[in-house]
Chain A
Amino acid sequence: MDPTIDQIIFLIVSILTLGAGFVVVTNRNLLYSALAMMASFLGVAAIYVLLDAGFLAAAQLLVYIGAISILVIFAIMMTRRLMQSTETSFNAQWGMGIFTALVVFGLFVAVIGNFWPLAPAAGQPLASGTAVPDGMLQDSIAALGRAFVSVDAFVIPFELASVMLLAAMVGAILVAWPKAEDEV
């Protein structure tokens, strides 16, 4: 059975993503880890594109690579000690870490397998599912926008998101900034 072009692309992209992820945890130079993390974010964005979710892919690029990675690198560079490449990336709890990761992975497989078949039934070809109609895709962004503000959809999460962003900003300033009385 020949794989389709989508499947080949998916394979390449996921190998790159996972490889970059592996570099993130094993590399001793923290900056290289951060760069590999960007590469792995990029791979995730490519997978979003393969899933016909162009908006999510662009958001991934804008937020995760353009903003959060920069934030992470600034954080690395603010802490002098971490910039030396002598840090080891393992601490005493690496065994527990692997165990937790495996448990979470198993959980994901179980949950996803509960809703969608993980492998095709016997005799069925390994192919992509039903294609999404083009009209629905063209309308998807507007549909998302409508869902954000309609009462019977996501209006509460939408407003909560803004409260959460506010809390994050205020909290970070409280933590990172000297207290008011220290100021002149």
Chain B
Amino acid sequence: MFSDWQFIAIFVVLSPIFPLLPVAVNRLLGPQRPNPIKQETYECGIETVGDTWVQFKVQYYIYALVFVVFDIEAVFLFPIASAYNQLGLFAVLEVVLFVVLLATGLAYAWSRGVLEWV
């Protein structure tokens, strides 16, 4: 079993080479003449005003939160799905209950208007 992951491990160690190589070649072939004007932030042709890292709105957070909930749900459902041919009718009932409860959460979010992009 570990030998399965051996390939992944080797792949992980090897894979940074492929993005690094073209960038390194670029560094060698391309010119290197930085100057302050060139290195300015590119925004609409005028100098950038104010701080970039401004406050963002709460919608992003809510979407991420709903996503986390569904992600965890998936982690539970994947093993069940991969044992599905070995399960009885009772299991189906449990899965249905599980999914319906989460759908209720989505419905609540919807009814509160959380999913509106204002």
From the candidates A63, A74, A77, A166, name the one contacting B101 in the complex (CB within 8 A). Answer: A166
In contact, B1 and A137 (Cβ under 8 angstroms): yes
Using C-beta atoms within 8 Å of the partner chain, give the interface range for chain B: 35 or more
Q: Which among A16-24, A91-99, A115-123, A148-156 touches the partner chain?
A: A148-156
Closest to B81 in A: A145
Closest to A49 in B: B5
Tell whether A103 is near chain B: CB-to-CB under 8 Å: no
In contact, B114 and A173 (Cβ under 8 angstroms): yes
Minimal beta-carbon separation of A124 from chain B (angstroms): 22
Minimal beta-carbon separation of A8 from chain B (angstroms): 12
Closest to A168 in B: B69
In contact, B75 and A59 (Cβ under 8 angstroms): yes
Minimal beta-carbon separation of A31 from chain B (angstroms): 9
In contact, B60 and A74 (Cβ under 8 angstroms): yes
Per-residue A-contact encoding for B69-107, CB less than 8 Å = 1, 0 else: 101111110111111101100110011011001101100
CB neighbours of B24 from chain A (8 A): none
Tell whether A88 is near chain B: CB-to-CB under 8 Å: no
Minimal beta-carbon separation of A32 from chain B (angstroms): 13
CB neighbours of B113 from chain A (8 A): 183
In contact, A159 and B114 (Cβ under 8 angstroms): no
Closest to A71 in B: B64
CA distance A173 to B61 in the complex (A): 10
In contact, B82 and A67 (Cβ under 8 angstroms): no
Tell whether A111 is near chain B: CB-to-CB under 8 Å: no
CB neighbours of A70 from chain B (8 A): 64
Closest to B4 in A: A54
CA distance A143 to B79 in the complex (A): 8
Minimal beta-carbon separation of A33 from chain B (angstroms): 15
Q: Which residues does B use to contact A, with CB under 8 Å?
A: 1-2, 4-5, 8-9, 53-58, 60-62, 64-69, 71-76, 78-84, 86-87, 90-91, 94-95, 97-98, 101-102, 104-105, 108-109, 112-114
A67-B67, A159-B98 are known; give 8 further A-B pairs, CB within 8 A.
A6-B2, A78-B61, A149-B91, A165-B69, A165-B101, A168-B69, A169-B105, A177-B114
Minimal beta-carbon separation of B4 from chain A (angstroms): 7
CB neighbours of A83 from chain B (8 A): 53
In contact, A166 and B1 (Cβ under 8 angstroms): no
CA distance A176 to B4 in the complex (A): 44
CB neighbours of A67 from chain B (8 A): 64, 67-68, 71-72
In A32-59, the 8 Å CB interface with B consists of 49-50, 52, 54-55, 59
In contact, B71 and A77 (Cβ under 8 angstroms): no
In contact, B71 and A162 (Cβ under 8 angstroms): no
Which 6 interchain pairs have the tightest Cβ spacing?
A145-B83, A145-B79, A142-B83, A149-B91, A137-B1, A144-B79
